[in-house]
Amino acid sequence: MPLALLALAISAFGIGTTEFVMMGLLPNVADDLGTSVPTAGYLVSAYALGVVVGAPLLTALGSRVPRKRMLVALMGVFTLGNLASALAPSFGLLLAGRVLAGLPHGAFFGVGAVVAARLVAEGRQARAVATMFLGLTVANIIGVPAATLLGQHLGWRATFLVVTAIGVLAMAALVRLVPQVPADPQGGLRRELGALRDRQVLLGLLTAVFGFAGVFAVYSYLASMATEVTGFAESSVTVVLALFGIGMTLGALVAGPLTDRALRPTLYGSLAALAVVLVVFHFTVHVAWAALVTVVVLGAVGFMTTTPLQMLVMNKAKHAPTLASASNHSAFNLANAGGAWLGGAAIAAGWGWTSPTLVGAVLAIAGLGIAVTAGLLDRTPGPSRLVARSAVPDPERQPVD
């Protein structure tokens, strides 16, 4: 795999840390700013909504910008958003900082996924995209637990200052390691929007909204479930989050090769497994050892859905994949916001801390139904192949800054 993927993975590490760390810090932020945990959960939704808005908007604005310059600029906005979050004096301004940090998320992964796929030979493209996503999963093993522990001892503001530093490091890595990849000269907003109107692309995005919402309905309140239901001490929350991250990493490692071999079966299997594991977690969360095992499995099957969904929309929009790729992250984070809201609504309704598991299972089943429907309607089944590589010069011949 090209070294440039390391720069993309470092960037994904920073993005994953700031996206997921808020779940572990919700009790701390709620106490510090004088609000409830369900209300603090809006900070999860604020970041996600920033992604939903920013992914298509920033991707459209940067459709003619060279890919490397676009990636560096997006990481700069991400860094500023985290600095604003660290310095926010009130809950409202913290919400604004989270929105700003989320704006470049989808566009970065949209552009980054297309660049990653073009750095490798056909037949290894899903593995290249999964390698970039490993930054997200490693963030959940190291970044999120460490940042949560830091926030618990030095305050949640220290967490966002550290993420700001990671953003600066990621920008330097992008400048040094990513080759110059120009924008497609035949591309443009009209062509990208045309690809986005494809029925299979739209069904893929809808699958992401419902299917991945099942993950976030539970993950958003995993820290609270661990302390309130399982009985773990607050200091043990970092272990629970790290185990979820280990599961995510295992899921990413498995999803890449499986997606290269059989895209839709990988998607169907991961969504079905997700629904089953969420139901199982409703019962195992009461027993410490069983809860920890289920958390690992939940992370694995939950994250196994991301690579096939990413490759599906890029494949179906292969003549103009960037906006579709970025919009997929809007869909993921709409799932983030919707899952967090529905899980919080179930808790606020008095259904108990374990109710988000059943809410998540229903959402995963809905996503599976949409995915199967899309597969039945697809007249062009085939392997996960991307946009014609002739549209972009061979990155191996591009100079590296």
Instruction: Give pLDDT tens digits for 18-42.
Output: 987 887 788 888 888 877 777 787 8
Do 348 and 359 contact (CB within 8 A), yes or no?
Answer: no
Whether the pLDDT of residue 79 is over 50: the answer is: yes
235, HSE (Cβ side, Cα atoms, 13 Å):
1
**Average pLDDT of 271-287?**
95
The pLDDT value recorded for residue 394 is 41
**Average pLDDT of 327-345?**
84
Percent residues over pLDDT 90 in the chain:
35
Whether the pLDDT of residue 233 is over 70: the answer is: yes
Q: Read off the pLDDT of residues 183-222 as tens digits, 9 standing for 90 and up.
A: 665 556 666 666 677 788 889 999 999 999 999 899 888 8
The pLDDT value recorded for residue 188 is 60
Whether the pLDDT of residue 78 is over 90: the answer is: yes
Whether the pLDDT of residue 384 is over 50: the answer is: no
Q: Read off the pLDDT of residues 97-115 as tens digits, 9 standing for 90 and up.
A: 999 999 999 889 888 888 8
Whether the pLDDT of residue 282 is over 60: the answer is: yes
The pLDDT value recorded for residue 385 is 45
Token reading at 71: 């990636």
Q: Average pLDDT, whole number, for the chain?
A: 84
Per-residue pLDDT band at 90 (split at 50, 70, 90)? confident
The pLDDT value recorded for residue 319 is 67
**Average pLDDT of 251-268?**
89
Highest-pLDDT range among 139-148, 203-212, 306-315, 388-397: 203-212
**Average pLDDT of 92-96?**
90
Lowest mean pLDDT among 106-110, 117-121, 318-322: 318-322
Q: Read off the pLDDT of residues 136-188 as tens digits, 9 standing for 90 and up.
A: 888 878 887 788 888 888 888 999 999 999 999 999 999 998 887 666 655 56
Closest CA to 245 of 23, 8, 72: 23
Cα end-to-end span (Å), the chain: 19
**What phi and psi, each to the nearest 5 degrees, are found at residue 186?**
-95, 0
Q: State how far the Cα of 133 lies from the Cα of 305, in Å rounded to an integer.
A: 12
283 versus 200: which is more confidently predicted? 283
Lowest mean pLDDT among 31-35, 342-346, 385-389: 385-389
Q: State how far the Cα of 150 lies from the Cα of 238, in Å rounded to an integer.
A: 10
pTM flag (> 0.85): no
Do 113 and 90 contact (CB within 8 A), yes or no?
Answer: no
Q: Which residues pair with 179 in a beta bridge?
A: 400
Geometric angle at alpha carbon 49, from 45 and 53, rounded to 5°: 175
* Domains within the chain, CATH numbers bracketed: 4-382 (1.20.1250.20)
CA pseudo-torsion sign 97, 38, 133, 209: negative
